[in-house]
Amino acid sequence: MRYLFVVSGSPSAAVEDELPEMAATTYPTGGTALFGPIRDQADVMSVLARLTRLGLSVVEMRPLPD
C-alpha cells in the first residue's frame, strides 16, 4: 500500500534523512506532497510522529491506489 501525506510549507533536507522511503514533490494547491510505501496502520502512525517531530503540519493524508 502507498500513502500520500501533504504538509504545509517546504520541508528541509532533514525530511529526506528522516523519511528516506518517501518521495517529495510540490503539491498543486500549495505545500509539499510526500508519498511512499506504508505497511500498516502502525507505519502510518510512525510517519505522522516523525513528521510532527520535524515540526511539519500535516494538512492531508490518504491511501493511494496501487
How do residues 30-51 score in pLDDT, each as one tens digit?
A: 899 999 999 999 999 999 999 9
- Under 8 Å CB-to-CB from 19, ≥6 apart: which residues? 34, 36, 47, 50, 51
With 90 as the cut, is the pLDDT of residue 16 above it?
no
Q: Label residue 38 left, alpha or beta by phi (over 0 means left) and psi (-120 to 50 means alpha).
A: beta
Spell out the domain ranges in the chain: 2-64
What is the pLDDT averaged over residues 24-31? 91
- What are the residues facing 3 on neighbouring strands? 36, 63
pLDDT value of residue 14: 82
Share of the chain above pLDDT 90, in %: 77
User: What is the distance between the alpha carbons of residues 47 and 54, in angstroms, rounded to a whole number?
Assistant: 11
CATH of 2-64 given 3.30.70.260, 3.40.50.2300, 2.10.25.10, 1.10.3080.10: 3.30.70.260
